[in-house]
Chains A and B, each alone.
Chain A
């Protein structure tokens, strides 16, 4: 009978607000080129949102800002304008808009965009973001946890998964904590509430899988660096999320049936 809390727009704006400190930190770390990249991405995403708003009455969302900053943080290489336009168009249209817009997508737009960039233009080299970006992610993560948007289970499980696999590979887990790309990817791409697993048990499995894959890709395979590792781990984990949910539902309903006859 009353307009509720956590409307899609409210959640979108809260996530956009949480990502703002990272914007500032990225500009400080990488300078003006990062700002240009992010501005270009934002414009392309907004254009596609407007197109789908016009054609299919799909409301726009403020998470365009998250996509823009993801491209800023995780694709610091030297890209031509057309390359970014192409990748962002692919990411936002195929990753989100054709499913019905934010809330009905199965993978995060930033992840789709970056995976396209990495696959289509593998010659461009990337360096991971530094500790300033990592620190800038913390207030946003706290805000999202306090407002009940982020699932603590996913965040905790992915940190545990990453830590365990890092130790298993005989590497230093401190390297993960000070790596801005990794912390950003963990908080804003892996923990995206829409693209992560949606059942209670599934969230733990999803987090462990995503965190473990990040560490595995970052340390075990010499050919990939941290931005690649984060994006591919988030992509794989999101694709597995429906399977994880289906398994958890099947398991819990069979347990319940056994317990209650």
Chain B
């Protein structure tokens, strides 16, 4: 099946990456950020100074204790910082050498049944790679998905090309997709670009869907809206292509594969390219020898929906480096004339309409989000969306209101009573 997204915007930004895996810079730390697990009430399973290896459980969800987050690397837990409401803020690990002992193995044999696969994913810490729509949360270990979306396309500015990333991992990817058919009784959609098929010999219930067009054609929110909308009822899960390939490799070797291929790009870099780095890599350390002179902003994720962060976020495949521009000081009266304290209203231009993939009424939705009217937002179908789906709309409306953050606040309010 081929779907052409007629809407879309191209965001121009200097420093596009060469789509080749270049020399890997070396990092000394990795970090697990609490911000990647927003509703999780964490229960720590390690302490500072403890040695860990790939697959060591670092913490688990107090409410759903089968969901654990595991260490991606060998090393020593350096610092655990707890934020407000006793939630985990960050856990950092100093990279170390393989101690040479017996490595942690997750027997792939058990993953041949639906229940066994769930146990495999949960114990190895790969389960959090899955997320649900509505609400964009980590699914329940016993949850049921009506469909599963595997996103093997990335149209964000400067994103790595999945075709290059998967070039030498075709077998792992295919194995991962085949295993995931055990997770759901419903259909599986592998969404890719309009080039040659990424997957030969499709397993049962798996269909390959090609999406063509500019960003947001590659966002899973766009795919779900076209193929299996969830605004009324039902739940779909989705997972990114690199996590599927990592699952495939783990199923072959029994060991956790923490390495991801990420794009480092942006105007503040010497050579923008693809590099391999572990999950949660320390970006300051990784990019120290790569950036040009001057103050920089290091953004984990695409420029539209990423966030300034020291460590690579769990679901991001790219890092964008911008020059840091300090706001100029101006006279208070001139400042007041230029900009009010309240965010400026957005003007519903045609370009704004172009910035949104799903076939939902965007302008009424943004107006409802501007005043955080949860009831209207729900009626307009906001439950099927996530922050990233509105990132381009925030950009195309001048950026004075972060509609993604508003959406998250509204979703939290809708979710709370349940």
> Which chain A residues have a beta carbon within 8 Å of chain B's beta carbons?
1-12, 53, 57-60, 100-104, 147-152, 193-194, 198-200, 245, 248-249, 252-253, 256-257, 260-261
Binary per-residue interface labels of chain B (303-341) against chain A in the complex, 1 for a CB within 8 Å, 0 otherwise: 110111000000000001010000000000000111111
Is the CB–CB distance between A260 and B232 below 8 Å? yes
Question: In the complex, which of the residues A8, A53, A249 contacts B344, with contact meaning CB atoms closer than 8 Å?
Answer: A8
Is the CB–CB distance between B351 and A7 below 8 Å? no
Given A5-B396, A248-B361, A256-B231, verify A198-B322 contact (CB < 8 Å): no
Counting chain A CB atoms within 10 Å of each CB, the highest count among B304, B307, B322, B348 belongs to B348
> Whose C-beta in chain A lies nearest to the C-beta of B7?
A200
Is the CB–CB distance between A193 and B396 below 8 Å? no
- C-alpha gap A188/B23 in the complex (Å): 55
> Which chain B residues have a beta carbon within 8 Å of chain A's beta carbons?
13, 228-229, 231-232, 297, 299, 303-304, 306-308, 320, 322, 336-342, 344-354, 359, 361, 363-364, 367, 379-381, 394-400
Kindly list chain A residues whose C-beta atoms are within 8 Å of the C-beta of B351.
5-6, 147-149
A–B pairs, 6, beta carbons within 8 Å: A8-B345, A149-B351, A193-B349, A249-B361, A256-B229, A256-B231
Kindly list chain B residues whose C-beta atoms are within 8 Å of the C-beta of A11.
347, 349, 398
Kindly list chain A residues whose C-beta atoms are within 8 Å of the C-beta of B297.
1
Is the CB–CB distance between A58 and B340 below 8 Å? yes
Is the CB–CB distance between B363 and A198 below 8 Å? yes
Is the CB–CB distance between A198 and B361 below 8 Å? yes
Secondary structure of the A contact surface, majority rule = loop
Given contacts A9-B344, A148-B349, 18 further A-B contacts (CB under 8 A): A1-B299, A1-B304, A7-B397, A8-B347, A9-B338, A53-B337, A101-B345, A103-B347, A148-B351, A149-B347, A150-B349, A151-B349, A193-B349, A194-B348, A249-B364, A249-B380, A256-B229, A261-B232
Question: In the complex, which of the residues B307, B350, B398 contacts A5, with contact meaning CB atoms closer than 8 Å?
Answer: B398
- C-alpha gap A256/B224 in the complex (Å): 13
- C-alpha gap A148/B7 in the complex (Å): 12
Is the CB–CB distance between A150 and B350 below 8 Å? yes
Question: In the complex, which of the residues B306, B348, B396 contacts A198, with contact meaning CB atoms closer than 8 Å?
Answer: B348
Given A149-B351, A200-B353, verify A2-B395 contact (CB < 8 Å): yes
Is the CB–CB distance between B345 and A103 below 8 Å? yes
Is the CB–CB distance between B322 and A4 below 8 Å? no
- C-alpha gap A53/B381 in the complex (Å): 35
Given A3-B399, A7-B344, A249-B380, verify A260-B229 contact (CB < 8 Å): yes
Kindly list chain A residues whose C-beta atoms are within 8 Å of the C-beta of B229.
256, 260
Kindly list chain B residues whose C-beta atoms are within 8 Å of the C-beta of A148.
349-351, 354
Kindly list chain A residues whose C-beta atoms are within 8 Å of the C-beta of B342.
57
- C-alpha gap A215/B277 in the complex (Å): 65
Kindly list chain B residues whose C-beta atoms are within 8 Å of the C-beta of A150.
349-350
Kindly list chain B residues whose C-beta atoms are within 8 Å of the C-beta of A7.
344, 397-400
Is the CB–CB distance between A57 and B336 below 8 Å? yes
